[in-house]
Structures are given as C-alpha cells and as structure tokens.
Chain A
Amino acid sequence: MSNNITLYNKRMKVADLLSSDSALLSILQRLNIKLGFGEATVEDMCKRYGISTELFLMICNIYSFRDYVPHIDTLDCNDIKSITTYLRASHSYYTTICFPTIHEGIHTLVKELDNISRKLIDKFYDDYDREIINHFRYEEETVFPYIEKLFTEQSPSGKQYSIRQFEENHSNINEKLNDLKNIITKYLDECYSSPQRFELLNAIHNVESDLRKHSLIENKLLIPLVEKLEKSHE
C-alpha cells in the first residue's frame, strides 16, 4: 500500500465520506442506513445502527482506495456476523438492483442484433446469471449457516466441512463478466452502437468492480477470521 493515501477514520462526518466518494452510497444502502443523518460522524452512525466501526471503515476503505489491503488485525471473531450480514445484504443488492439492470440492458441490446449474435449473447448471459445465483445461494445456504453454527455449537458435529474447502472452491465470478464486457466493447459490430450499449457497459463495469471488492472482503476478512474461529474450537 502506498503511504501517501489518507484512509477514512471514525471521526469523519458521514456526509464528507459520501462527498469524497459517491460509490460509498451503495454501502449505506446495503446496510439499510437512512439518509438525513445531518452532521453525524462515522462513529455516531455505526453506534446507532449497531455496526462495528472498524469493519465499516474497512469496507469503505476497500471501496475507495484501490491499493488498500484490509487485514484482520483490528477485528475479532465477533465481527464475523457483521461481515456475513454485510455480504448477504450485498448479494441482495446485486440480485435485486445490479443484475436486473444488466439483464434489461442485455435484453435491449440483443433486440438489435442479428440472429446468431442474439442467441450467443442471450445464452452467455443466462448461463452467467445462473452461475452467479448458484454461487450466492451456495454461500447463503451452506457457507454462512456453517459459520453461524460455529458460534452456537461448542464443537461442531463432525469435520465434514471447513472454511478452507470454501476457499478452495471459491470460483472466480468475475471472469465471465469481464469476458462479456470485452465482447460487447470490442467484438459486437459497430453498427449496434445505441446509447444503451454504453449504459449497459457502464453497469457491467460497476458491478464487476463491486464484485471484486466483495471477493476481497470474503478472502481477506471473512475466511481468515473464520479460520481463527475454527482453530479456537480445536
């Protein structure tokens, strides 16, 4: 990490945070934080909503500073629940807001295309959509419940699963999105250059960069913390 960036801190006003990077708006949205918070600082707001201030700042730093690599040093196992809550909220943000927008954009775009391209793009996107839904579902139905169980059971029954398995199978959900972006940017004929094609690309760009941060939170925060928790059970 370069030394000359100033990360966010808990004494900053939430409003200043947002005006320095509007991408952070969607984090508040995911966390169900209501607008109209006046001059509240990050710390005030986190207290009011029962969110870990450290974790909130980390997530904001991840979103705003490309070179920032979060570390679990300042977190503890109690933050795991807040992380899974955030990740679930993100999934729902993707599935109810981001992907429907992209889907609509694809739908508009393919209407203009020749038969073959239309079939190809439609199928490619449908397959991706299914893949990402399965990816989220697996996390929500298998991984997160496993983690939650670690808190309630002193020694989880059997050793059928560990977070390491999740890490090993954690597929790269961005690869196909990136492919789609390049196909639409570079390889669809230039005759299909409606404003919607630009808008669609913008939407794909945004969700792609968001998903990258989402994975970073999983890989750099969630997995190491859960590993720590698993060790404490041994």
Chain B
Amino acid sequence: MNKETKYKVVLIEPSEIVATGIAEIINRNPEFSVVQTLNNPTYYNSNNDTDIIIINPTVIDYNERLDIRSYLGGTSCALVALTHSNYEESVLRQYDDCIGIYDNAARIIQKLKNAIEENVANPKSDINELSTRERDILTAVAKGLTNKEIADEFNISIYTVISHRRNISQKLGINSIPGLTVYAIMNKLVDMSDFN
C-alpha cells in the first residue's frame, strides 16, 4: 500500500460515544482514515471509494442482516462488524472480521488489516495476483486438505474458504484440485515430494 493513500473507512454506528471513540482510535493510525461516520446505513452512498465499512449489525433490520452486502448497495469493500453483543454465526460470517466493543486499539487495527486481506468479495489490492491468504489456502488445497480442515487450520468459516477458493479459481482459470496442484508445484508453493 502506498503510504500517501490511507484506507478509507466508513463507520456506521448509532452510539455517538462509541463512534467517536472508534474513529479516534482509527485516525491515530497512519494507514487508516475514517472519512465518514453515520448513525444510519440509509445514508450510506455505495458509489464512493470506501475501502472498509465498519457497521454495527443492529442498525440493519433483522430480515436484512443475512444479506448485508446487497443491503449496502452491493458493496464489495471490506466489511467489519462492530458488535456490542453476540450474533448468530450466519450473520457474522458475512463480515471479513468482527470488532468487539472491548477490543483494544492494537487489536482493532489488526482486525482492519485482516479484513482488507480477507475481503473475499473484492481482492482489490491486487486484482490478478493471488493474495498471501489465497496462496496459503491454495497450498493447503494442493496438499489435499478438505475445506473443513482448511477452515479449522486458518480459523475461518467454511463459507470463507469456499469464497477464497472461488476467487483463486477465477484468478488462475484453474478449477480442479489436480489442476490447482499442478499450479502450486510449478510455482513452488508445495514440493513434488509431498506427493510421492
């Protein structure tokens, strides 16, 4: 990432105290900048060039929570949940990461970085090359791990593994596991001797 350009963060949080606090923490970091704080997602304009949306899931009606991206105008930027309480797994797995109200500053920044990396909807940083995370997952696929095993190893949901795999296949134009294995060996992600 170019040092001159900061990741643009939009914060959607109904509590002014919380919003001000999080924005302060984020703006202290040189890589991120909160460009907009909203208390209601209806004011969010999906046409701008946001990199991350941090959103408190309570601001969205229960029925809409399961399809948050389309609710936000089909956004493909990284999505981070800001949670004051517990949510169902099915709600949270749509997010690239999840900030808890008791997380400290270092952890919040770490999660934002992670979300950029994890953002499976749009690997914006490098559109054609595999991201580090994608290379790791490809390596695991080539070694013969199942989606479930990969999810456990990387501590992510199976849903996220599947999205990563879809993106990997889209970038490489290779879908089958044997094909991905050939790619992984040719690119020295795994060693041929792993297979004999």
Q: Please, which residue of chain B has its CB at the minimum distance from the CB of A116? A: B192
Given contacts A116-B192, A119-B192, contact A124 B172 (CB under 8 A): no
On whether the beta carbons of A120 and B172 are closer than 8 Å, the reply is no
A116-B192, A119-B192, A186-B173 known; A180+B186 contact, CB < 8 A: no
* Choice from A121, A127, A179 contacting B175 with Cβ under 8 Å: A179
Any B CB within 8 A of the CB of A117: yes
Contact pick for B182, options A175, A181, A183, CB 8 Å: A183
Q: Please measure, in the bound complex, the distance between the C-alpha atom of A183 and the C-alpha atom of B172, giving whole angstroms.
A: 9
Determine if A182 is an interface residue (Cβ-Cβ < 8 Å): yes
CB atoms of A176 and B179 under 8 A apart: yes
CA gap between A116 and B192 in the complex, in Å: 8
Residues of chain A within 8 A of B174, CB atoms compared: 179, 182-183
0 or 1 for each of B176-196: is its CB under 8 Å from A? (1 = yes): 101110110111000010000
Pick the contact of A187: B176, B178, B186, B192 (CB < 8 A).
Answer: B186
A29 at interface by CB-CB < 8 Å? no
Tell me the complex Cα distance, A183–B178, Å: 11
Please give the number of chain B residues whose Cβ is less than 8 angstroms from any Cβ of chain A in the complex.
14
Inter-chain CA distance A175–B36, complex, in Å, is 45
CA distance A182 to B180 in the complex (A): 11
Q: Is A206 an interface residue (CB 8 A)?
A: no
Find B178's partner among A124, A181, A186 (CB 8 Å cutoff): A124
**Contacting pair A117 B173 (CB below 8 A):** no
Chain B residues near A187 (CB-CB < 8 A): 183, 186-187
A124 to B173, CA, bound (A): 16
Whether A180 contacts B192 by the Cβ 8 Å rule is no
With A116-B192, A119-B192 known as contacts, the answer to whether A179 contacts B176 (CB < 8 A) is yes
Are B178 and A176 closer than 8 Å at their CB atoms? yes
Chain A 173-209 interface mask (CB, 8 Å, partner B; 1/0): 0011011111100111000000000000000000000
Distance A152 CA – B180 CA, assembled complex (angstroms): 46
Given the complex, which residues of B lie within 8 Å of A179, measured CB to CB? 173-176, 178-180, 182
Mask, B109-140, CB within 8 Å of A = 1, is: 00000000000000000000000000000000
CB-based contact B186/A120 at 8 Å: yes
On whether A121 and B182 interact (CB within 8 A), knowing A116-B192, A182-B174, the answer reads: yes
Give the residues in chain B near A178, CB-CB below 8 Å: 173, 175
Binary contact readout A106-124 vs B (1 if CB under 8 angstroms, 0 otherwise)? 0000000000110111001
Are B186 and A117 closer than 8 Å at their CB atoms?
A: yes
Please name 27 pairs of A and B residues whose Cβ atoms are closer than 8 Å in the assembled complex, sorted by A: A116-B186, A117-B186, A119-B192, A120-B182, A120-B186, A120-B192, A121-B182, A124-B178, A124-B179, A127-B178, A175-B175, A176-B176, A176-B179, A178-B173, A179-B174, A179-B178, A179-B179, A182-B173, A182-B174, A182-B179, A183-B174, A183-B182, A183-B183, A186-B172, A187-B183, A187-B186, A187-B187
Q: Which B residues lie at the A interface, using CB under 8 A?
A: 172-176, 178-180, 182-183, 185-187, 192
